[in-house]
């Protein structure tokens, strides 16, 4: 389980493209894979994937140990 400072470091790197990487901000989701459909609430797996692919990543924030990606009109929480 990552510690809080590590999660913040990852969020910053995703936003700024740390360590020579590329920022995810403004990038488009090309492909998505759902490994555990039980994690979705109020949407089926096919609809989720259809609504996620092609969306632009607008922001990356952190809430506790969760990374929060603003993708299109929705948010993806990643732990």
Q: Which residue has the higher pLDDT, 2 or 74?
A: 74
Residue 53 in tokens = 């692919």
Beta bridge partners of 61: 68
28-45 mean pLDDT = 90
Asked whether the whole model's pTM tops 0.85, one would answer no
2-10 mean pLDDT = 89
């Amino acid at each position: 389980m990552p510690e809080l400072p590590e999660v913040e470091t990852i969020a910053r790197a995703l936003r700024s493209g740390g360590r020579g990487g590329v920022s995810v901000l403004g990038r488009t989701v090309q492909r998505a894979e759902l490994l555990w459909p039980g994690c979705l609430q109020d949407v089926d797996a096919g609809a989720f994937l259809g609504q996620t692919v092609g969306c632009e990543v607008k922001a990356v924030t952190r809430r506790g140990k969760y990374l929060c990606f603003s993708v299109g009109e929705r948010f993806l929480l990643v732990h």
